[in-house]
Amino acid sequence: MATPEDITVNEEKQQRIHAYFQNQQNLPMAVGAGFGAVLISAVIWALVTVVTGYQIGWMAVGVGFLVGFAVRLGKGIDKMYHFIGAALALLGCLLGNFFSLIGFVAKEEQMNVFGLLGVLDFSKVPSLMIDTASPMDFLFYALAIYEGFRFSLRRITPAELAAAQQSII
């Protein structure tokens, strides 16, 4: 049977192990890698959408997955990393839709995408995105947010845990 002293020692050891992994967190890496994944996934989303002429909802899930794993590079164990992954996943979806709209308009107007960006009235973009949104978009956005949230935290392997326990003894 565990004594109060054993429980206190175990709690202290758990706190030291937690602190060991917290000290390895790298917020700038998580945000930077996540934002890089946002840009890459949004461009891929737009290219696939414009080339095929179809918006494939599952692209949003891919965005969330990619962003979540990129945020994980920051080795975060705190809940804040969940929210960063979720927010960046949503941003990736919105940017993917925005880039797709730009691609379609540029294609229709036979303009260069960058030329179109130079003359675009950005104040009209939110209403255009709302007008072109469908209820299914929101379902896939929710899935992307979930994926970004779910995959954003560091997964500590048994070997890493054993190394942490050895280093704090």
CA distance 20 to 25: 9
98 CB contacts (<8 Å, ≥6 apart)?
42, 125, 129
pLDDT at 54: 87
Q: What are phi and psi of 94, to 5 degrees?
A: -60, -40
Q: pTM, whole model, 2 decimals?
A: 0.87
Q: What is the pLDDT of residues 128-163, one digit of tens each?
A: 888 888 888 899 999 999 999 999 999 988 888 888
Phi-psi region of 56 (alpha: psi -120 to 50; beta: other; left: phi over 0): beta
